[in-house]
Structures are given as C-alpha cells and as structure tokens.
Amino acid sequence: MPQQPSEHTFAPLLTATGDSLVIADFHPRRKKAPRRRTTPYHRLFTIPGTRAFTVGNLLARLPMGMFSVSAVIMIAGSRGSYALAGAVTATGLAATALVAPWTARLVDRHGQARIAVPATAFALLGSIALLLCVRFGAPDWTLFAAYAATATTPNTGGMSRARWAHLLRDDPAAAHTANSFEQAADELCFMLGPVCAAFLCGTFFPEAGTLVAGVLMMTGVLLFAAQRSTEPPPQPRTPSKSPLRAPGMPPLLLCFLATGAVFGSMEVVTIAFADAQGHRSAAGAVLALQAAGSCVAGLLYGARKPTGPAERRHPLCLAAMTALLTLPLLAASLTGSLPALAGALLLAGAATAPTMVTGMALVQQRTPEGRLNEGMTLAVTGLLGGIACGSATGGWVVEHVSATAGYGVPVAAAGSALAISLAIPPALSRLRAR
C-alpha cells in the first residue's frame, strides 16, 4: 500500500555549484515557542476559582474603608457635630471588636457562604437604617443603635486568607505569596476607600458614599460566596480549644494591638500636623503615600521566597518598622515641611506590609485546626483596638504637647510590639518544657 507522505519522507537535495557542494533541506521548520516568564503571583492565579473569589473579595473589602468616612461626612453635615460623628463611628468600632470573633466562629463551624451572606445582609440593613435616621432627623441615640448593627460585617480579608491557606496547605512558598498579596490588597483598599467615599459624598449627596459602599459590599460577598469550589470545609464540631488559649497566641495578639496603635496614632498626628501647616485637605494624600509604600513593599516581599521561620522574621520586620518610623519624627521636627514628611511616610510604609504578612503567617500557624477564621479575626480585632487606643493617645499628645511630638507615639508603639515579639520565643520554650 502506498504510504502517506510525512515529514520524514523529505530527503535533502544535493547539488554542486562550481567548487561548492550545496545541501538543501526541505524539512518543515517549526518555530520554538517563546518562554513565558511567570511571576509567583501569576502562578497563584492559575489555580481554578482563585480569580473569581479574589474579585468578589476585593469588591467586598473596598467598602471597609468607605463606611466610616461616609458616616462622618453624612452625620457631621446633617447634625453639624464632628464629636457626634466620631462617637457614632467609635461605637461601631467597639461593637465590631466584640461581635466579629463570634461571626468568625460561626463561619468556621458552618461555612463561609452559609454565614457571610446573611451576616452581610444584616450589616447592610444597619447601614441603610443609619442613612434613613440621618436623612429624616431621628434622635441621636438611633444613630448609635443603627451603626452598631453593622458589626456583623464578616471579615472578608480573613475569609480570603483562609481560602488560600486551604488551597496552598502543601506549598508554604505560595502561601507566603498569597498572604503578601492579601496585605497589599488591604493597603490598596485603605488608600482608595476614603478617597472614593469623600468623592461620592462631596460630588453627589452626603448619603451617596454609604449607598455605594453597601451595594459594593453585598455584591462582592455574593460573588465571593458563590465560589464554592475554593471554600474551606466547615468544622461543625472541633475539639480544638479557643485561639485565645493556644500557645503563643495571646502575646501575638498583643503585638497586633501595639501595631494597630501605630496606624491609629499616625493618622491622627498626620492630620493635626497638616492642619498646623495650613494644608489639612492634603492629609489624606500624605497618608495614602504611606499606604502606597506598604502596598509596593508587600508585593515585592511576596515575590521572594521567605528565608527562615516566621518566628525569626517577625521581630526583624518589627525592628525595621520601628527604625523607619523615626523618619517621620525626624522630618517633622527638623524640617517642619509637609513634602518632607510625605517622603518620610512613603519610606516608613515599606516595613508595614512585611510585618503584617509575617504576623498573619504566625496567626495561621498558631491557630488550632478548624478555628482559622476566628484566629485571624481576633488578630484584626486586636488591630482595631490598637487603632482606637493609638488615635486617643496621639490626639492627647497633639493637644497637650505638639503635633511634631505626636510622631513619637507610633515609634513607641512599634517599639512595644518589638519588645513583645522578642519575649514570645522564651515564653513558648518554657511552655513546651512543661
């Protein structure tokens, strides 16, 4: 039977031209496919379902930086009292610190989709109630009650980290990259959220920020919850003890409390310093530079493989953060210049994300099995408590000393976190020796 022609049937053609022998090869040429350079982040999102749940999570997380700013603008514009607006948002923060760990425990026991959707819907009703109370002049106490109802908002960042921990449980390097991405996303939302809220409330009407934030939050949680293939399995009955009783967790949560004080004091002191320079409206942009520095540092940190255990990296990151936080203090005291301060804050933010990434890695390691959402939410609760304490302390120093001296508060808070972190390994060694 005649054979079908193939690429192997082409024989080279030999011919002579003058004193030269020419060989012509008619085999078909195949171009080599160019090598695609992939980054750790690209490989991260080749896992099926990760892009969809990340988009949903980012939509749900952006409003976290919008609600408080929108509430302050809305209440202060209607009632003419920043004191009332601040008290209402502080009440909501305190309620969140109390309720969030219980919500996270329910998420661990019954699953993300089953708990996150109704919890978000209830929080959305609280936001709508606040909007209506402000709009129609309800008594002041109703504002506190309505905003406290938003405390059921689930920790979407924690749920996203729990998904990565479930998907990458056998790949520590990829889990490090995922945690770094999540921290960079936090910083990005911190930058964009207040800007979006101020733009919406100022351009359209005072309630616009709350309305848009509510729609984004509910849409994002629904999209996130719909991705069931990447959801960690619920742990309805787990013999594991509370994360608060796990070895090494209480001092680690104190580290998060002190780190939160860095953020809270820095915000208040920077606003006061900008106001003293006659540029209060620029305070938001200056603070955004710190978040931008942290965002970039977080992405770069995640692109590199971690060196050594997280227990050793954590105090090193805190030491770097403490050292870099002296730059705003020096810029404010030596130059008194807002541009110089902005540059110092940009550099100071470079250690924030690596510190938070490493701290969250330690939380994941020390949280008992089946309690991961609860453990990470406790860390966020510690941050919230620290932000409240830092804001109060920074405000007191600004009022009784000066705005420049106020930059000593975040340095002291970071130094406290470093001291606690250095004390954790000996304490753990004593516990293991028992």
Residue 69 or 230, more confident? 230
Contacts of 309 (CB under 8 A, 6+ apart): none
Distance CA 424, CA 144 (A): 39
**Local structure of 22: helix, strand or coil:** strand
**Is residue 14 predicted with pLDDT exceeding 70?**
no
Confidence of residue 16 (pLDDT cuts 50, 70, 90): low
pLDDT tens figures, 83-130: 788 788 878 888 888 898 899 889 988 999 999 999 999 999 999 999
Residue 24 or 408, more confident? 408
φ, ψ of residue 16 to 5 degrees: the values are -120, 135
Q: What length does the chain have?
A: 434
pLDDT tens figures, 370-414: 788 888 888 888 888 888 788 788 888 888 888 899 899 999 999
pLDDT tens figures, 211-237: 999 999 999 999 999 999 899 888 776
Distance CA 146, CA 148 (A): 5
In terms of phi and psi (left: phi > 0; alpha: psi -120 to 50; beta: otherwise), the region of 278 is: left
Between the CA of residue 347 and those of 87, 282, 287, 419, what are the distances in Å? 33, 18, 12, 22
pLDDT of residue 122: 96
Residue type, 108: D
Contact 372, 349 (CB under 8 A): no
**Is residue 52 predicted with pLDDT exceeding 70?**
yes
Distance CA 312, CA 155 (A): 28
Average of per-residue pLDDT across 260-281: 82
Average of per-residue pLDDT across 248-259: 91
In terms of phi and psi (left: phi > 0; alpha: psi -120 to 50; beta: otherwise), the region of 10 is: beta
**Percent of the chain topping pLDDT 90:** 32
pLDDT of residue 79: 85
pTM, two decimal places: 0.75
Summary mean pLDDT of the chain: 84
pLDDT of residue 428: 53
pLDDT of residue 123: 95
**Is residue 312 predicted with pLDDT exceeding 60?**
yes
pLDDT of residue 96: 86
Q: Where are the alpha helices (DSSP H) in 335-407?
A: 338-348, 352-366, 372-400, 403-406
Confidence of residue 287 (pLDDT cuts 50, 70, 90): confident
Of the listed ranges 107-121, 238-252, 338-352, the one predicted with least confidence: 238-252
Q: Which residues pair with 16 in a beta bridge?
A: 21
pLDDT of residue 433: 47
Average of per-residue pLDDT across 143-159: 91
**Is residue 337 predicted with pLDDT exceeding 70?**
yes
